[in-house]
Amino acid sequence: MNDSAGGPATGHAGHDDGHGHGGKSPVHATLKGYLTGFVLSIILTAIPFWLVMTKAMGSSTALGIVLLLLGAVQIVVHMIYFLHMNAKSEAGWTMLALIFTLVLVFITLSGSLWVMYHLNENMMPVTPQQMRNMP
């Protein structure tokens, strides 16, 4: 079936399915991409699990930093391979929404840690004798 312009029908009155992207979608959701993301996610989950279960690192501080870094890498893998986020998709609005979300998460986490630290520092000291007399 042909549209009124004489060309083949595209289902949207002569518009291509690319929606202004030259016929190509800015997001490429392929089986290879999903499998790559899946394998990377498994690896980025197995490494921290192995580090914690075998106690491969002596310092808990170093282990915590490594776990946080691997978690951040896994977040990036999920955003790229499963959420298909990049700087070019949807004219940058997706990236702007991500940046806004990260700022809110940073404010929430740092504020929570600040409050908990100051609550801990400003609590009245309790001696063992006072603990025995508490109701």
Sign of the four-CA dihedral 115, 120, 125, 130: positive
What mean pLDDT is predicted for residues 75-93?
79
Is pLDDT at 118 greater than 50 in this prediction?
yes
CA angle 44, 45, 48 (to 5 degrees): 90
3-state secondary structure of 87: coil
pLDDT given at position 97: 80
Is pLDDT at 88 greater than 60 in this prediction?
yes
pLDDT given at position 28: 60
What mean pLDDT is predicted for residues 96-106?
87
pLDDT given at position 108: 92
